[in-house]
Amino acid sequence: MSDLSQLTPQHLWQHFATICSIPHPSKHEEALAQHIVSWAKERKLFAERDAVGNILIRKPATPGMENRKSVVLQAHLDMVPQKNNDTEHDFEKDPIQPYVDGQWLKARGTTLGSDNGIGMASALAVLSDESLVHGPIEVLLTMTEETGMDGAFGLQPNWLKSEILINTDSETEGEIYMGCAGGVDCITTLPLSREALPAGYETFKISLKGLKGGHSGGDIHLGLGNANKLMARFLAAQTSELELRLLSFTGGTLRNAIPREATLVVAVPQSKVGALKQAAADYLTLIGHELSAVEKGISLQVDAFECGSKALTQDSQNRLVGLVNASPNGVMRMSDSVKGVVETSLNVGVVTTEQDCAQVLYLIRSLIDSGKQYVVEVLMSLGQLAGAEVKTKGGYPGWEPNPESPVMNLVSESYKKLFDTTPHVMVIHAGLECGLFKRPYPDMDMVSIGPTITGAHSPDEQVHIPSVSRYWQLLTQVLKSIPEKG
């Protein structure tokens, strides 16, 4: 911890050191939450929790600032618990061990929790630093953001009194966020029938590997290869020529990651074995050429494979291949209100086959609820054509960008004045809690800022120390400049 005590701004880093010392992985934030509430009460600040555990702390305006609009500073309490295979660490008991490495703060073998611990520390620093000048402050710390946004879902109307909210959960200093995409999972389940392979068939495993993959929100516009889509296309094109029979189709691991790998088990008549290998080699050349600007390492391998399983009936095979091949994927529409930003997208994330059914998992994202709904309806129609059942799960709303937002413009102006450069005003094609805050507080004027964090959600997570100082300067300057109540 001695490392951290040398850093400035001191209040912020002291709070972060305390946060690191109290375990707070998602769903186990209680110890940290109780510590913060007692700390606030000792300081004679109003502090209370709601039914889902969110914390609200109020600090009155500093002298002469009573007339300013009230501001919510918001962060989430939990962190993602990830560690390296060779690291011994119990996230529910052991403190995080931060250390300074040049300009970066890292943790020993684990996630650091700078997402959103620095934001939380900055909000607490505003409460404890008596040298600051600001209007009325509300600090809102939400529960369990990383595994379902439980706190944001549970936030009730009429609890917060402010009309402005500053979210501290974005991860690039110099970027100001004014909107984010919402999301919903779609799960399509197709019943499968199977039968014995005809006599004289040989089975093979076809493995597609080496695609880059990436975040299904942030990287969806890059035109990367989707292993599931590429495999379905191969099957659709080759099935009748090769008299190919499908035994299994497995691709991707997470609905929110662009799938890097997919594996098929197929069978062809002995007379078509040479043609299968040739078709795979030709297809690799074709997709390698089509995707040459973005994918450099694709491999497609055909190996003899013993498999006792029965094949899909021709009808089941046609339905499954048709379903995946006809599924839309990637960017569906760009935003009209913010140039260069994706409005609506989807990722065909995971395909699996069991004995009697196949499943396709999609993640749909959109800045607007109706964009998400449109894609859900497309997938419903497709499921109907294929004879599959389509369900949705875990939907959360987007935060529709407002280029006229007064607080966003104030943050942008303050940044220009402080650092003599124009910040990038952005919309993130992934989830922030702000979309959910708009439900109980539809008129809240919101913006999101934060320091530069890389490798979030992995043991490589690190925060750029000088960016924390700039973020703090920006935050405190904005609080000083909040306009008077209208």
Contacts of residue 6, Cβ cutoff 8 Å, sequence gap at least 6? 100
Smallest separation, CB 317 to Zn ion (Å):
42
- The rounded distance, in Å, linking the Cα atoms of 317 and 191 is 11
Listed ranges 23-31, 110-118, 281-289, 397-405: which one lies at the site for Zn ion (CB under 5 A)? 110-118
Name 457's Cβ contacts closer than 8 Å, sequence gap at least 6: 80, 82, 111, 115, 146
- Write the single-letter amino acid at 381: S
Q: Which of 252, 176, 270 is nearest to 214 (CA)?
A: 252
Is 168 a binding residue for Zn ion by CB under 5 A? The answer is no
Catalytic residues: 78, 145
Q: Which is nearer to Zn ion, 74 or 226 (CB)?
A: 74
* Segment interacting with Zn ion (CB under 5 A) among 109-117, 333-341, 405-413, 468-476: 109-117
- Which listed residue (115, 400, 445, 461) binds Zn ion by CB under 5 A? 115
**Binding segment toward Zn ion, per CB under 5 A, in 31-39, 169-177, 295-303, 418-426:** 169-177
CB of 311 to Zn ion, least distance (A): 46
Exposure letters 181-194 (e unless 16+ CB within 10 A, then b): bbbbbbbbebebeb
Residue 220 near residue 331, CB atoms below 8 Å: yes
Among the residue ranges 168-176, 232-240, 290-298, 400-408, the one whose residues contact Zn ion (CB under 5 A): 168-176
Q: Which is nearer to Zn ion, 112 or 302 (CB)?
A: 112
C-beta closer to Zn ion: residue 115 or 295: 115
Size of the site for Zn ion (CB under 5 A): 3
What is the nearest approach in angstroms of Zn ion to the Cβ of residue 171?
8
Binding mask 340-359 for Zn ion (x = CB under 5 A): --------------------
* Helix/strand/coil for 55: strand
* Region from 24-32, 99-107, 164-172, 464-472 binding Zn ion, contact rule CB under 5 A: 164-172
Q: In whole angstroms, how close is the CB of 435 to Zn ion at the nearest point?
A: 14
We find the least distance from the C-beta atom of residue 115 to Zn ion, in angstroms, to be 4
Cβ proximity of 114 and 93 under 8 Å:
no
Regarding beta strands 55-59 and 46-49, do their DSSP bridges make them parallel or antiparallel, or are they unpaired?
antiparallel
CB of 29 or CB of 115, closer to Zn ion: 115
- Least Cβ distance, residue 79 to Zn ion (angstroms): 8
Question: Closer to Zn ion at the Cβ: 111 or 405?
Answer: 111
Instruction: Determine how many CB atoms are found less than 10 A away from the CB of residue 63.
Output: 7
Residue 156 CB contacts under 8 Å (≥ 6 apart), including other chains: 50, 51, 440
Three-class SS of 283-308: HHHHHHHHCCCCCCCCEEEEEECCCC
Q: Which residue, 219 or 243, has its beta carbon nearer to Zn ion?
A: 219
Respond yes or no on whether the N-terminal peptide bond of residue 191 is cis (omega within 30° of 0). no
The residue from 62, 116, 317, 335 that contacts Zn ion (CB under 5 A) is: 116
- What does each C-alpha distance from 74 to 39, 332, 406 come to in angstroms? 18, 32, 18
Residues 101 and 107: their CA atoms lie apart, in Å, by 10
Q: Look at residue 97 and give its three-state secondary structure.
A: coil
Candidate list 29, 150, 169, 461; residue touching Zn ion; CB under 5 A: 169
Whose Cβ is closer to Zn ion: residue 170's or residue 203's?
170
Least distance CB 76 / Zn ion (angstroms) = 6
Residues at the site binding Zn ion, with contacts judged by CB under 5 A: 115-116, 169
